Chain A
Amino acid sequence: MALNIVVCVKNTPSSLSVELDPSGQPKTAGVLYAINPFDEYAVEEAVRIKEKNAGSTVTALALGPDADQTVLREAVSRGCDAGVLVTGTEVTGGDTLATSRVLAAAIRKLAAAQPVHLVLFGKSTNDSGAGSVGGQVAAWLDWPGVLSVKKIESIDEQAALLWRMMEDGIDKVKVGLPAAVCTVKEINEPRIPSLKGKMAAKKAVFTKWTASDLGLKPEDAGAPGSGARVARYTAPAKRGTGLRIAGGSAAQNAAQLVDTLIERKLI
């Protein structure tokens, strides 16, 4: 059973220690970028499904500037077959509403060429951390969307059986395909890129689409297509060092800790 899978990946800062410019926007000069760490789980899951189902394909899909082809190379080095970059000033700089609309349009275009059964996402990105693009892509496509998936128990061309991690336990969810699925860490352990994968990544040539290739009007994407924007970022106040309990015996320190917790009405 051949399944065609799309996995969405984002090029994000490798370090979360971000400096701000005077207007409250993150400085980008000198920042190293790599595949969003949560997307590694989605890529791995897609490649595992492909390996179990002969004739399947995995296409990595990214949205960003031309330089973000590097994230597609990383995806190919981990086993994806092909990559598509949606790029251009019209599509970048949007909020999750606009970004998900663009990704949905790209998935629709891919699905017009060959059926797409499943679109996989990481749980969120490590930069904005919204964790909503996967669910919003599902909504734009009018497909089912399942978040927080820790296991794909079974999948065929029609349906998948998923384990959804809820706060109080596990929902087993049967979902008709095509669908969008957002993974969580527990779903697998991502492999490191193989030598063969790295070679393939080096040689890979990626499809590039702009807003007009996707039939999107300027007001559909980027900032004009957004419903929200980050006006600025601020650094939260640093927590100071508090009370240090030291000096007594372990038993005395334990008693002092419990006294303090009771005094401060914490227990």
Chain B
Amino acid sequence: MNPQGILVVALNQRGQASPATWELLGAGRALADAAKQPLFAVLPGGTAEQARELVERGADRVLWTAHPSLKEFNDEMHTQAVCAAAQQLSPARILLPGSVAGRSLACRLAVKLQAGLATDVSEFSPSGMVKRGAFGGNLTAEVEFKSPIQVMTVQAMAFPPAARQAGRAGEAAELAFAPAAARTEVISFSAEEAGEIDLGGAERIVSGGRGVGGPDGFKAVRDLAHALGAAVGASRAAVDSGWIPYRHQVGLTGRTVRPKLYVACGISGQIQHLAGMSNAANIVAINTDPECPMMQQATISVAADIFEFIPLVVAEIKKRKGVPVAA
């Protein structure tokens, strides 16, 4: 049978469905409709109820397994599960999230299936070509496939999430899965601080750079992030100075983000930082230097001293929300 159809790999995060899955289903449904092909999904380490939601969000056929070996992400075990599903469904294109887990799994799948691989895809064209950033986002690579099966990871926030339609028709069945033992074992997990919003899926991000001056300066950045319900990001300069941990770093060496709103505080906009955030829909730059690259590219720029300005913005937001402002 010729490979046909789109397979979305739905990866749970600590047992919970990830919003990235809804984005994959949104992108996958559009591809499937354009090609008049079915949209499949495989759910390793999920439940029948979660599988049902995948149908209600656009999948025509879902294979799920609650096998205990898939509770935490294990690239060897998850590869076996997805390969078992791919064998049954014979999809032409396999879409995975652009997360650490998604990328790990994509690497193994591509080799197992002798498939061309494109990571961090942000656009699909009708011809089957895909676009992804290269050279630190300075260039867009247009990737063509020649393998019968194609594997791709999709950048978070690049596609609108599929809405849930209660009662949508589709089939969800349990995947027969008898895995061989893995040599990798997740022995424990320690979560980030409670209440911290992950950069990758954040709609709004407030980032601080060299201009925040020190760890104390990050307090203002965090206050603004809190007021906006935003994730906290940072430039390399701020991370390398030890003001904030690496996991907050946005840019070539850190995370790539596509929020609706990116507020850059005291970030001049070096090419390595722009690599990670220039696809933000809106950029607000707050900087003392109006000529720096970030201010030149911002949707809205304010030439201001961030120590004076950010508290005023926070107070203004609280005022609009009707929150009493401390004197």
- Contacts A170-B189, A228-B145; A130 near B119 (Cβ below 8 A): yes
Alpha-carbon gap, A95 to B140, bound state (A)? 16
Alpha-carbon gap, A221 to B201, bound state (A)? 37
Contact A16 B190 (CB under 8 A): no
Which listed residue, A227, A230, A264, touches B117 by the CB 8 Å rule?
A227
Contact B108 A138 (CB under 8 A): yes
- Chain B interface bracket (under 10, 10 to 19, 20 to 34, 35 or more): 35 or more
Which chain B residue lies CB-closest to A185?
B253
Alpha-carbon gap, A234 to B142, bound state (A)? 8
Cβ–Cβ < 8 Å partners of B79 in chain A: 139
Closest Cβ of chain A: how far from B161's Cβ, in Å? 17
Contact A168 B14 (CB under 8 A): yes
Cβ–Cβ < 8 Å partners of B301 in chain A: 241-245
Question: Is the contact region of chain A dominated by helix, strand, or loop, or is it mixed?
Answer: mixed
Alpha-carbon gap, A100 to B199, bound state (A)? 30
Alpha-carbon gap, A260 to B14, bound state (A)? 38
**Interface residue? A11 (CB, 8 A):** no
- Contacts A169-B192, A171-B73, A173-B186; A131 near B110 (Cβ below 8 A): no
**Interface residue? B237 (CB, 8 A):** no
Residue of A144, A179, A226 with highest tally of chain B CB at under 10 A: A144
Cβ–Cβ < 8 Å partners of B112 in chain A: 139
Restricting to A111-139, which residues have a CB under 8 Å from any CB of B?
123, 126-132, 134-136, 138-139
**Interface residue? A184 (CB, 8 A):** yes
- Contacts A228-B143, A230-B134, A250-B304; A147 near B104 (Cβ below 8 A): yes
Alpha-carbon gap, A262 to B300, bound state (A)? 13
The stretch that binds A, out of B35-43, B52-60, B306-314, is: B306-314
Alpha-carbon gap, A240 to B182, bound state (A)? 51
Which listed residue, A136, A175, A185, A239, touches B183 by the CB 8 Å rule?
A175
**Interface residue? A145 (CB, 8 A):** yes
Contact A16 B100 (CB under 8 A): no
Q: Mark A219-233, 1 if CB is under 8 A from B, else 0.
A: 000000011111111
- Contacts A96-B117, A165-B100; A255 near B107 (Cβ below 8 A): no
Alpha-carbon gap, A233 to B115, bound state (A)? 22
Alpha-carbon gap, A164 to B184, bound state (A)? 12
Contact B190 A169 (CB under 8 A): yes
Contact B304 A253 (CB under 8 A): yes
Closest Cβ of chain A: how far from B316's Cβ, in Å? 4
Closest Cβ of chain A: how far from B248's Cβ, in Å? 11
Contact A148 B300 (CB under 8 A): no
Alpha-carbon gap, A140 to B117, bound state (A)? 14
User: Top 7 nearest A-B pairs by Cβ distance?
Assistant: A135-B107, A227-B116, A228-B116, A227-B147, A139-B111, A176-B183, A254-B312
Which A residues are closer than 8 A to B by beta carbons?
A: 13, 16-18, 20, 24, 26, 37-38, 95-97, 100-101, 123, 126-132, 134-136, 138-140, 143-148, 150, 161, 164-176, 179, 184-186, 226-236, 238-246, 250-251, 253-255, 257-258, 260-262, 264, 266-267
Which B residues are closer than 8 A to A by beta carbons?
A: 13-14, 72-73, 75-76, 79, 99-101, 103-104, 106-108, 110-112, 114-120, 129, 133-147, 150, 182-192, 198-201, 204, 228, 245-247, 249, 252-254, 260-261, 271-272, 275, 278, 282-284, 290, 296-305, 308-309, 312-313, 315-317, 320
